[in-house]
Amino acid sequence: MRVSAVQMDMKFEDPEKNYEKAEQLIRMAAKQKPDTIVLPETWNTGFFPEKNVSSFSDKGGQRTIELFSALSKELDVNIIAGSVVNEKQEGMYNTTYIFDRKGKCIAEYDKTHLFSYMNEDEHFKKGEKLTTFELDGVKCGVIICYDIRFLELIRTLTLQGIKILFVVAQWPVPRIKHWEILNQARAIENQIFVACVNSCGTAGETIYGGHSALIDPWGENIVQAGNTEEIITGDFDIEIVDKIRDTINVYNDRRTELYKII
C-alpha cells in the first residue's frame, strides 16, 4: 500500500481557509498515486479554539464528509481525513472520518484520550469506542495524537488484527522526541506499520513540530518529514508483517496470565 502523509500547516481558527487548503494538498498528494492519503489532527481549526469553539466547528461532520467523499471518489484514493473539531448533538468531539476509494465514509473515531495538560477535556467529550476498518483488504486502525501514549489501546487494536496504524496529530515542538520514540516503539512492539502525521506551524501560542513519518514494523523510518509543510510518500509491503511475526513471535511468547492492567 502506497501512503501519502500530508503535513499541513493550518491557519488557526480559520476553517474556510483550511478546507480550501486541505483540498489543494489532497490533490497535490494524489499526483504521487498513493492508495491512501492522511491528514493531521484538527486541521479545520488548529488545536484548538478555547473561546467560541462551536462557531469554528464542523456540524455533525457534514462539511468534512461531503468534501472527502467527493474527493476520494474523484481521485480514486482512500482518505484518512485527519480529525476535525466536530459538534455533534451530544457535544463537541475531536473526530476522524475514513473514506474508501469509492467515496464511502466507512468508519469514524472520536478521540478517546483527551489531552488534559492543554485542557482538551474541558472543551470536548471523550469517544467511547475504538475503530478498525479495511482499506484495499488490509485491516487498519486509527488513533488521535495523545492516544499514542496509551500502549494498551494500540495493543488492543493489534489483537483485533490491524496491520497498519494511522496516527493523526498536532504534537508540539518541545515534546517532538516523545512523538518520534512513541511512534517507533508502537511499531516495534506491535509489529505493525505506522503512518504518523503531525502538523507544523503555529496554532495560538503553540508551535507544532512536524516529523511525520512512515514507519515499518522493525521501527525503521521508510520516510520522515522535516518541520515545515510537506507531503511524504512511501510504500508499505504488508506481507512482511507476518514474516516478522514468524521470526520474533512476541504474540506467541506473551505471558498474559502474569499481566494485570487496571
Ligand X SMILES: NC(=O)CCC(=O)C(=O)O
| Residues annotated catalytic, as ranges | 41, 111, 145
Helix (H, G, I), strand (E, B) or coil at 110: strand
Pick between residue 178 and residue 254 the one whose CB is nearest to ligand X: 178
Rule CB under 6 A: is residue 145 a binding residue for ligand X? yes
Q: Which three cell numbers stand for residue 92?
A: 463537541
> Of the ranges 84-92, 97-105, 141-149, 215-223, which one interacts with ligand X (CB under 6 A)?
141-149
Pick between residue 115 and residue 166 the one whose CB is nearest to ligand X: 115
CB burial readout 156-175, b (16+ within 10 A) else e: ebbeeebbbbbbbbbbbeee
Neighbour order of strands in the sheet with 138-144: 132-135, 138-144, 164-168, 193-197, 213-215, 221-224
Rule CB under 6 A: is residue 170 a binding residue for ligand X? yes
Question: What's the min distance (Å) between Cβ of 152 and ligand X?
Answer: 16
Pattern 15-54, ligand X, x by CB under 6 A: --------------------------x-----x-------
Helix (H, G, I), strand (E, B) or coil at 132: strand
- Calculate ∠ Cα 71-204-17, nearest 5°: 30
Long-range contacts of 209-212 (CB under 8 A, 24+ apart): 209/171, 209/172, 209/173, 209/175, 209/176, 209/179, 210/7, 210/176, 211/176, 211/179, 211/180, 212/5, 212/7, 212/40
Q: Which of 59, 102, 149, 243 binds ligand X (CB under 6 A)?
A: 149
Rule CB under 6 A: is residue 171 a binding residue for ligand X? yes
> Of the ranges 132-140, 142-150, 217-225, 247-255, which one interacts with ligand X (CB under 6 A)?
142-150
Pick between residue 43 and residue 236 the one whose CB is nearest to ligand X: 43
Rule CB under 6 A: is residue 210 a binding residue for ligand X? no
Pick between residue 57 and residue 69 the one whose CB is nearest to ligand X: 57
Q: Which of 46, 61, 127, 172 binds ligand X (CB under 6 A)?
A: 172
Question: What's the min distance (Å) between Cβ of 191 and ligand X?
Answer: 23
32: Cβ contacts below 8 Å, ≥ 6 apart:
2, 4, 231, 233
* Cell 478555547 found at: 50
Q: Which residues bind ligand X (CB under 6 A)?
A: 41, 47, 115, 145-146, 149, 170-172, 175, 178
